[in-house]
Amino acid sequence: MADYGTRPIIIKKIKKTKHAHHGGAWKIAYADFVTAMMAFFLLLWLISMTTPEQKQGLADYFAPPNVSSTNSGAGGVLGGAVMGEDGAQQSGSAIDARQNVTPEPDSTQYNPQEQATGGQAASDFDAIRASQVELQSRQDRLFTSAAASIRQAWQSMPDLAEVADNLVIEKSPEGLDIQLLDDSARPMFPEGSRYPYETTRKAIAAIAPILDRLPNQIAISGHTAAGAVYDDPRYGAWDLSTDRANTARAILGEFGLSDSRIHSVTGRASSEPYLPNDPYLSANARISITVLYAAPPVPLNLTP
């Protein structure tokens, strides 16, 4: 019987270890794949949304500049065209190109007569344009100064304080407009009368010396509000507006404005309301005195 006490005892220890770390490289690769797929589907969507014209434009933008888009000939770089002796592209072979070339007049060739005529026309146009701009600027400064003088003259008259809101000065495409507006509480004219109240007369008289110092022509127009009723069937809005405009002209002439400065005196009735949204308001009845813009200069050698 074996002696178990003398046999060596072997102890086997098993050491458990963890698996090695594999890293996250696969995550980066997967993210790149997803990004590429998203870009691919976005490209497909953009292609499906573009029109044929837009696609052609994109193709032309990325195409080399020396490639012809023609489909004729061999479809190569020259697209069935040949280079002539002068270096220009021509259709056909080089021999045909040399035989069939017809000299054309050079549009860029210097022509003394045409150059002189064109240069003179351009010079005249530039001169007219520059003179018009300068005239417009000078008249705007003149109108600004005249408007300030008129307002100062009115403010210096205590009698006009109650009708100050009825006196309006503004620029228009025709020139400087001086408006004497009617008001239901403070009318400028008695109802149906061609003669103004004394305050209206003073307001017109105060601007006569200022207008006389200006070189521009003066246009005077009378206006009435819509819906007015007149006792005399043979005397209506057209007659009344004309008579009021002529009375304003007479007052201006009495206080210093020369008749040679008057461009026109017209009656407009209710055809041109000051307040188009409500032509029945009393403010549409008015006297309009317009300092007209001067005509632009015309060169003496310019023929219509």
pLDDT of residue 251: 96
pLDDT of 111? 56
Within a domain: residue 103? no
Q: For position 93, what pLDDT does the model report? A: 46
Any domain includes 107: no
In a domain, 274, yes or no: yes
Q: Is residue 288 part of a domain?
A: yes
Reported as a single tens digit per residue, the pLDDT across 35-45 is 999 999 988 88
Range with the largest mean pLDDT of 110-114, 184-188, 256-260, 299-303 = 256-260
Residue 301 lies in a domain: no
Residues 6+ apart with CB under 8 A from 99: none
Q: Is residue 19 one of the residues assigned to a domain?
A: no
In a domain, 2, yes or no: no
pLDDT digits (tens, 9 = 90+) for 104-142: 555 455 555 555 555 555 666 666 666 666 767 788 888
pLDDT bucket at 262, cuts 50 / 70 / 90: very high
Cα-based distances in Å from 169 to 12, 41, 90, 149, 179: 116, 67, 69, 11, 6
Residue 191 sits in a domain whose CATH number is 3.30.1330.60
State which residues form the domain around 207.
123-292
- Residue 95 amino acid letter: I
Q: How far apart are CA 54 and CA 50, in angstroms?
A: 6
Domain count, the chain: 1
